[in-house]
Amino acid sequence: MNIGDFAKSFKTIWGAGVLLATAGPLGLFVPDLYPPWPENSHIIGVIFCAVAAVVSFTVGVGYAQRPRAKSKFQTAVATACLLLGLASLIGYFLAYSTRVVVETQVVGKEQHQLRFVVGTEMQAHVDKTESGDDLELLRDDQYSPERIWTPESVRYSRVLLLGTFVTAFSMLTFGMGLLATRAVSRGHR
């Protein structure tokens, strides 16, 4: 297999899946569902997906020249990656729904959405009995999550969101890439 075969792999259904999975992080940009931290995390996701696509092709080429038993192993690895990607995507959306707070502010005639990652453990000075919802706490403390939640818990939430986001789309891309190279390599046998 060569670079031409790499291009041909995108003409398969799995190859189209690779392109969609690689573009997936950008698709979450429009509804603001990508991680708020770090800035441009959707670009980080696309870069990881592009690397996963290249690695899947490289690994897939190695399997293409092996006997059928290796082909079954390639399918098993691809399936495991797809399942891990789906589980990570579900985990990401669950984490996003509990750890991201959205504030909509009107400036002039335009609405702006501010998104904040919140932690799980409150600072010792925060009165837990009278505290309202997370958005109310952020408003009271000048939108600084580190003033309300421990820095460690905020950092953990940020890493969890970014990690599940990147893992989800990278594993989906890698799994579909393995299946795409498998489909192309079958044409060479």
Average pLDDT, integer, range 45-74: 83
Cis status of the peptide bond prior to 25, with omega within 30 of 0: no
- pLDDT classification of 128: cutoffs 50, 70, 90: low
Average pLDDT, integer, range 68-97: 91
- What percent of the chain is modeled with pLDDT above 70? 85
> How many domains, the chain?
1
Q: Whole-angstrom Cα distance, residue 83 to residue 173?
A: 12
* pLDDT score at 93: 97
Asked whether the CA dihedral 72, 74, 77, 78 is positive or negative, the reply is negative
* pLDDT score at 65: 67
* pLDDT score at 69: 61
Burial class (CB in 10 A: 0-12, 13-18, 19+), 179: buried
Burial class (CB in 10 A: 0-12, 13-18, 19+), 76: exposed
* pLDDT score at 3: 60
Higher pLDDT, 12 or 57: 57
**Over 50: is that where the pLDDT of 189 sits?**
no
Among 7-11, 104-108, 120-124, 165-169, the range of highest mean pLDDT:
165-169
Reported pTM: 0.86
Q: Whole-angstrom Cα distance, residue 42 to residue 39?
A: 8
On whether the CB atoms of residues 91 and 164 are closer than 8 A, the answer is: yes
**Over 90: is that where the pLDDT of 49 sits?**
yes
Longest dimension (CA), the chain: 70
Of 1-5, 7-11, 86-90, 109-113, the least confident: 1-5
Range of the domain at 16: 3-188
* pLDDT score at 126: 84
* pLDDT score at 5: 62
